[in-house]
Amino acid sequence: MGSGLSPDKRTVGRQFPPRMTRKTLRAFFYAQLLTVAACSNQGLEPVRRESTVMGTFVSVTIFDEHVRREFAQAMIDSVFEEMKRIESIATDYADSSDIGQVNAHAGIETVSVSKEIARLVEESILYSETSLGAFDITVGPLVHSWDFLSDSPRVLSRAELNGLLPLVNYRNIVWENDKVFLKKKGMRLDLGAIAKGYAVDRAIALLKRRGLTNVIVDLGGNLGVSWDGTRLLDSTRATIFIRHPRRDGEMFGHFEVGTSGVSTSGDYQRYFTSGGVRYHHILDPHTGEPARDVVSVTIVAGDATKADALSTTVFVLGREKGMSLIEDLKDVEGMIIHEQGDTLGYMLSSGLKGRFVWGEPRD
């Protein structure tokens, strides 16, 4: 009975597929799987867009998985909008902005500003006090006169600088609640050393509120890295490359970071040369001239506002005082690049030692 269910003798002797072929087949099966994996990986590609805002370029990259591209694109649009809004209240080049209003009424009357501008001014004064004036948002008259953005910038004479320096002093900012007053006529606030970092932090916060937590925002080298480590990639940290201060297009080195703000101030970012001397945009508020001790400073901090303000502060303070400030501050690390004979040397804070890799990346 049941003869119909018994195996056919012909197929018992010759299994299909034969054993060797089965091995081969399995190999092909895995090869196909790999191919499929490689294909599906494309759906996980980060969404990235660039634009220009606040006088520099901006890029936003969203690495979060399982996010619709349309949603990511719309979020990037709102980041660009937010940055334009911050530019419109923080710029000193428009009388209509909060800062423009404060400057226009310097020495005349108190001006009401938005809460966030008031907070930024307050935070700036804090950095001024910490650094004994190496960081100072009242450098406006100097920045305006040097005018590194003009087509034909020129070197200011000592007499001109001496005329401007009395207008530069954060102690002459009077602020209370949301009101700001500059004591002397001709004083000018310039948030150029902190506003970009603030815009990056706002962008990161905006994206986070909408559930995007694996993000890099780059506003002219002011980086905001948000990295929650849940992304199913090989890396739970982002690699940050530092531009070579003297070789265009090359990298000086790199290190990895988790969630943090990173910012670099360098003498190569905005400068002109005259009589063989480099005049760059990072001015020492005490002398009115470009700060001379270092070539560039990169700061890694808890947020981008802090990193932005501190990179300028440490640049002006110079090697010794700058590094000691970095070491004094909690959750702040930094790297100072300086001239050493014909070449460049660098100093790392204790937390960056062993993490920084010098030289061009190998792909």
Partner 1 sequence: MIQSLTLPDKILLLLLSTATIASYFLVEIGSDPGSTVLVEVDGQAVYRADLHRESSFVVQGARGELAIEVRNGSVSVTRADCPNHICVRMGRKSRNGDIIVCVPNKTIIHIGGGTADGVRAVTG
Q: Which listed residue (111, 134, 223, 316) binds partner 1 by CB under 8 A?
A: 223
Q: Which listed residue (15, 26, 55, 166) binds partner 1 by CB under 8 A?
A: 55
Considering the complex, what minimum distance in angstroms separates the CB of residue 317 from partner 1?
Answer: 19
Binding status of residue 218 toward partner 1 by CB under 8 A: yes
Q: Output DSSP code: residue 205.
A: H
Q: Which listed residue (249, 275, 341, 354) binds partner 1 by CB under 8 A?
A: 249
Secondary structure of 132-194 as H, E, C letters: CCCCCHHHHHHHHHHCCCCCCCCCCCHHHHHHHHHHCCHHHEEEECCEEEECCCCCCCCCCCC
Angle at 99 between CA 97 and CA 101, to 5 degrees: 70
Considering the complex, what minimum distance in angstroms separates the CB of residue 162 from partner 1?
Answer: 27
Q: Which listed residue (104, 241, 292, 339) binds partner 1 by CB under 8 A?
A: 241
Element (H, E) at 19: helix 19-40
Binding status of residue 56 toward partner 1 by CB under 8 A: yes
One character per residue 269-308, x = contact with partner 1 (rule: CB under 8 A): xx-x-----------------------x-x----------
CA distances from 204 to 16, 87, 199, 265, 362 (A): 59, 16, 9, 21, 30
Binding status of residue 150 toward partner 1 by CB under 8 A: yes
- Pairing mode, strands 214-219 and 179-182: unpaired
Of the pair 182, 242, the CB lying nearest partner 1 is at 242
User: Would you call 257 helix, strand, or coil by DSSP?
Assistant: strand
Cite the beta strand spans of the chain per DSSP E: 47-53, 56-62, 111-112, 173-176, 179-182, 214-219, 222-227, 238-243, 251-257, 260-266, 271-274, 277-280, 296-301, 333-340, 343-348, 357-358
Considering the complex, what minimum distance in angstroms separates the CB of residue 212 from partner 1?
Answer: 15
Contact assessment for residue 319 and residue 276, using Cβ atoms and an 8 Å cutoff: no
Q: Which listed residue (15, 26, 32, 122) binds partner 1 by CB under 8 A?
A: 32
Q: Output DSSP code: residue 269.
A: S
# residues near partner 1 by CB under 8 A: 61
Residues 76, 80, 82, 83, CA torsion sign: positive
Window contacting partner 1 (CB under 8 A); options: 1-9, 45-53, 88-96, 194-202: 45-53
Of the pair 18, 166, the CB lying nearest partner 1 is at 18
**Given the rule CB under 8 A, which residues bind partner 1?**
14, 16-18, 20-21, 24-25, 28, 31-32, 35, 38-39, 42, 45-46, 48-52, 55-57, 59, 61, 63, 149-151, 216, 218, 221-223, 225, 233, 235, 237-243, 245, 248-249, 251-252, 254, 262-264, 266, 269-270, 272, 296, 298
